[in-house]
Amino acid sequence: MNVLEIRNLTKKFGDFIAVDNINLSVAEGEIFGFLGANGAGKSTTINMIASLLRATRGEIELLGRNIAKHNKFAKMNIGIVPQDLAIYEDMTAYENVSFFAGLYGLRGSLLHERTEEALQFVGLGDKHRSFPRNFSGGMKRRLNIACAIAHRPKLIIMDEPTVGIDPQSRNYILNSVRKLNDMGCTIIYTSHYMEEVEEICTRIAIVDHGKIIADGTKEQLKSTITDTKDIWIGVKSAESLKVDSLRNVQGVTAVRMDEQILKINSKTEVNNLNDIIQKLIRDRVEIRSVEEQEPSLETVFLTLTGRNLRD
Amino acid sequence: MELWTIGNKAGLLLYVILASYFSAEATDNRLLLAYLIYLCLNIAIPIFRDNLLRRLLATLSAAFIIYCALWLNPLFILLLPVNLYEWTDYGRLHRGIAFLLMLVPLFLAPWSVIPSYALAVSLSYLFYAANRSHTASLQRLDDERESLRLNQQRLQRTISENDEFMRQSAYTIKLEERNRLSQQIHDEIGHSMAGALIQMEASRRLLDANKEKAAELLGNAISISKEGLERIRLTLKDMKPRSEELGINRLRLFVDELASRQGMTATLTHEGDMDRITSIQWKVIQQNATEAATNSFKYSEATAIRIHVQVLNRFIKAVVSDNGKGAEKIVKGLGIIGMEERTAALNGTVIVDGTQGFSVTTLMPLGAEGENVHPTESEYSHGEG
């Protein structure tokens, strides 16, 4: 069953079209990534999913129910980690989490239990009584996450949760995203950090100018622009090399010698590095380095949109 | 509207009856008769459809009320406002007139009924005004809905007509093509094959008697067959559209024209295997490029325009960009919407960007579904444009 189903979603601000007729579905258990430059419409879409903005046109269904009609149901089942920190600096960490969880109707011992659980989860279990104003950027981000997950939502939306934090906290956050996913949460993740999206997302949509240009797994996205990769092998001397024997290796489409580097172009889906190297050894070629060059998501984005992610 | 008016009258009549019943005067049979006549007149009004008749009845009723108010019981005057507004309403007069008419009896009626009359006037008038404005807006909505429905029907019809037309023309083209082909095969190839056959038959008969003659005839048959084969090749080649009618060449023609006519620097580059683009996709690329280029020299003050067509593994990308002033905020006009619709028909998208000059990017998936497309071996080629 699809956790989220978006149909013909459009948002206009005056005559500026921020989100332009988006169709999308997110299945249960996915970590769905929204990839796009600043101003591409990611946050607008997310705010509409979270009912913070009213759509100009189109429908959003959460677990099969229209969120405009089942507002309370939608709110109970969505947890949002907003781009801008939403925590109170002069309340303790514990008070912050229990305040937000309380908004979802948790009371008494259950509230206490879930608050503890959420704080433990983000690694702030020993910071109950501390005030966020003394926290580092990463800790504030983690507290922000704890506030969003204490009521155990089915769908967690994270809008750029790793902006401006140290690498350690970043790893911690990425790990907790995976852990939440393992626990059965579906996650929507937006970022303009390509590596993060590439690392954790099971499916990715590339958004530009309010439209979804392509979506799929990262392999599918990469295959939209090419199905070959370059293998660069540094060799000492290639006089004894029989180039034709390399051309016969399965998957190889082109072989070229460039200075001291043997440049081989090969199909992405074929794993033929072993065969290639075996042939080189048999021909007594001395190998100095081996490098595989596959297109990154950054390249995919650049090729499809003609723009860099961080303009 | 009618139902509400009847309700209004009924309420007022009930008040008049109760008020006169509770007043000290003894019940008068004439009063009872008057109520019944009033009822008759006013029940008759909604029965008729003719506005003139209705107006007449309303006038009669009003006159009767005035008569009763003067001679029987002044309370009757309370019933007057409703008939007055009915009268103006059926006469399609301005409702202000109704209000003014309602005010007249204020000066003539006895002091005792004036407060009640004022109340009756204000309530009846309010009732009437609200009713009328709501009826008008309902009517407007109804009209609107009706015109929308008609419009929709018309569009539906156009769509089905177009579909039919497309089917028809596809069929016609197929028929024409088949005709042409069979004609050509008959005219050119059939004749030479028959000729060769005759020569070969003859050569078989002469084989024993005159070997030299037989060899000559066989030689003739061979050359006729060769010629026939050449004709088949030519016919097949002829069936393929000429290359300048297709794809990149047509686009090149357009770019050259643009450069010479508009005095802009126009360049066209391409990358990847152009043969993978189908003719319908070329058509969209061509139309979008024309549209984008038209926009460019209309609005952008650009001096150079660049068209780049790129075939990726599963996508076709066609970018038209200029070096003009661009646009901070893009307002979707008919042109952009047209491009989007054309492209969407082939499951593609259009990105319009105005941040660095103005650029229109058309993205379309390759292959029927864009999925499961396995390119052939020959398709590895890097940019040559």
CA B318 – CA B326 distance, rounded (Å) = 18
* Segments of chain B assigned E as strands: 265-271, 304-311, 315-322, 349-353, 359-365
> pLDDT class for B173, splitting at 50, 70, 90?
confident
Among B189, B265, B268, smallest CA distance to B232 is for B189
B222, amino acid identity: I
Residue A85 contacts residue A113 (beta carbons within 8 Å): no
Closest residue of chain B to A311, computed from CA coordinates:
B355
Q: A281 in a domain, yes or no?
A: yes
B149 has a pLDDT exceeding 90? yes
Q: What is the mean pLDDT of each run of 10 residues along chain A (311 residues)?
A: 90 88 91 87 89 89 90 89 87 92 88 91 88 88 91 91 84 90 92 84 90 88 84 79 78 82 83 84 84 83 79 52
Interhelix angle A108-121/A137-149, rounded to 10 degrees, is 140
Residue B152 has pLDDT above 90, yes or no: yes
Res A201: pLDDT: 92
Check if A305 contacts B (Cβ < 8 Å). Answer: yes
DSSP E strand boundaries for B156-264? none
Above pLDDT 70, what percent of chain B? Answer: 91
End of a domain among A196, A223, A250?
A: A223
The kind and range of the H/E element at A172 are helix A167-182
Task: Test A306 with B361 for CB contact under 8 angstroms.
Answer: yes
Min Cα–Cα distance to chain A from B330, Å: 7
For residues A200 and A267, membership in a common domain is answered with no
Strand runs (DSSP E) across chain A, as ranges? 2-13, 16-27, 31-35, 57-62, 65-66, 78-81, 155-159, 186-191, 203-208, 211-216, 228-235, 252-258, 261-267, 287-293
Same domain for A141 and A252: no
Q: What is the mean pLDDT of residues B237-250?
A: 65
State CA B335 to chain mean position distance.
16
Does B372 have pLDDT greater than 60?
Answer: no
Q: Confirm whether A302 is domain-assigned.
A: no
Q: Is the pLDDT assigned to residue B196 strictly greater than 70?
A: yes
Q: How confident is the model at residue B153 (pLDDT cuts 50, 70, 90)?
A: very high
Beta bridge partners of A27: A2
pLDDT at A254: 84
3-class state of residue A126 by DSSP: coil
Q: A224 and B312 in contact by Cβ < 8 A?
A: yes
| Residue A188 β-bridge partners | A32, A157
The CATH number for A256's domain is 3.30.70.100
Q: Are residues A105 and A253 in the same domain?
A: no
Q: Does A214 touch chain B (CB under 8 A)?
A: yes
**A205 shares its domain with A76:** yes
Q: Identify how many contiguous H helices and E strands chain A contains and give both numbers.
A: 11, 14
Task: Provide the number of CB pairs (under 8 Å) joining chain A to chain B.
Answer: 53
Is the confidence at residue B143, as pLDDT, over 90? yes
User: Residue A239 sits in which domain range?
Assistant: 227-294
Give the count of domains, chain A: 2
In a domain, A310, yes or no: no
Amino acid identity, position A83 = Q
| Residues in chain B within 8 Å Cβ distance of A209 | 351-353
| Together in a domain, A38 and A138 | yes
A265 interface with B at CB cutoff 8 Å: yes
Distance of CA B282 to the CA centre of its chain: 26
Select from B314, B331, B355 the Cβ nearest to the Cβ of A224: B314
Residues A54 and A128 in one domain: yes
Answer for the pair A97, A146: CB distance below 8 angstroms, yes or no.
yes
Residue with tokens 């070229």: A256
**A10: CATH:** 3.40.50.300
* B111: confidence class by pLDDT, cuts 50, 70, 90: confident
- Tokens encoding A117: 């659980």
DSSP-assigned letters across all residues of B113-180:
GHHHHHHHHHHHHHHHHHHHHHHHHHHHHHHHHHHHHHHHHHHHHHHHHHHHHHHHHHHHHHHHHHHH
- Does domain B243-375 fall under CATH 3.30.565.10? My reply is yes
What mean pLDDT do residues B3-26 have? 82
**Contact assessment for residue B314 and residue B365, using Cβ atoms and an 8 Å cutoff:** yes
Model pTM?
0.59
Q: What does DSSP assign to residue A51? A: T
Note whether residue A108 is domain-resident.
yes
Confidence of residue B373 (pLDDT cuts 50, 70, 90): very low
User: Which of A223, A247, A266 is the last residue before a domain boundary?
Assistant: A223
Are A306 and B375 inside 8 Å of each other by CB? no
Average of per-residue pLDDT values in chain B: 82
